[in-house]
Amino acid sequence: MINLQKLIDEIKSLNEKVALVAVSKNVTSNEVKELYSQGQRIFGENRVQELGKKNAELSDFDDIKWHMIGRLQNNKINQLVSLRPALWQSCDSFERAYEVNKRLNFKLETLLQINSANEDTKQGVTIESAGEIYLRIKEECPNIILKGIMSIGAHSDDIRDIQKSFEKSYKIFESLNAHGAKICSMGMSSDFRLAVKCGSNMIRLGSLLYI
């Protein structure tokens, strides 16, 4: 397990205002507890079922903030809603937002996921449609409270491709500032330093934390 404070010091030296989401999808509740004891409070899961399992196992740790960061199937929406995550980072279309909105009886803070490198393997709205969809969700889905955007860097060995994808996402984030966008969630274990340089203020780290 990593020394969390050392990592946080490094992240803060890049930008004072970056929030760290500890992605726990590949580890057990024991690792979550260990990071918790080092002060970590925000955790991310990419599957609703696993989020529910850890949420139950860790019910004593009631100040943990769970973020949903993975693809949400329509048949899992009810379960996600019942878990009341602190942030749904992976809203990937207007239709998904609409379906979730229908089932909500509270306000759910949400990020619009952008597929900035236009990859078939990734969820999210296109760069071209992101602004319009963001505004449509705001207008038609009153229980979805959009707080910003989330994006995964381009899947490439060329750092310039990754940087370009972050820059594109950041531009959309900037253009949505006037509409209340505050969170720009970009960067994972392999590319978080670059993401922060490109303006990310929320990074999602998994594998790096557990080596």
Residues within the interface to ligand PLP (CB under 6 A): 23, 25, 46, 69-70, 152, 188-190, 204-208
By beta-carbon proximity to ligand PLP, the closer residue of 85 and 206 is: 206
Residue nearest to ligand PLP (CB): 206
By beta-carbon proximity to ligand PLP, the closer residue of 122 and 138 is: 122
Q: How far is the CB of 52 from ligand PLP (least distance, A)?
A: 17
Q: How far is the CB of 60 from ligand PLP (least distance, A)?
A: 25
Dist CA 44 CA 70 (whole Å): 9
Residue appearing with tokens 């529910």: 52
By beta-carbon proximity to ligand PLP, the closer residue of 2 and 208 is: 208
Asked if 34 and 80 touch (Cβ cutoff 8 Å), the reply is no
Q: How far is the CB of 105 from ligand PLP (least distance, A)?
A: 27
Q: What are phi and psi of 200, to 5 degrees?
A: -60, 140
Query: What is the longest distance spanned by two Cα atoms in the chain?
Result: 44
Q: Is 109 helix (H, G, I), strand (E, B) or coil?
A: strand
Dist CA 6 CA 143 (whole Å): 38
Q: How far is the CB of 133 from ligand PLP (least distance, A)?
A: 19
By beta-carbon proximity to ligand PLP, the closer residue of 136 and 197 is: 197
Question: Among positive and negative, which fits the CA dihedral 189, 207, 152, 119?
Answer: positive
CA distances from 182 to 10, 62, 124, 150 (A): 22, 25, 19, 11
Contacts of 115 (CB under 8 A, 6+ apart): 122, 123, 124, 125, 126, 127, 151
Q: How far is the CB of 203 from ligand PLP (least distance, A)?
A: 8
Dist CA 54 CA 27 (whole Å): 10
Q: How far is the CB of 88 from ligand PLP (least distance, A)?
A: 12
By beta-carbon proximity to ligand PLP, the closer residue of 37 and 207 is: 207
By beta-carbon proximity to ligand PLP, the closer residue of 126 and 179 is: 126
Asked if 155 and 119 touch (Cβ cutoff 8 Å), the reply is yes
Residue appearing with tokens 């004593």: 60
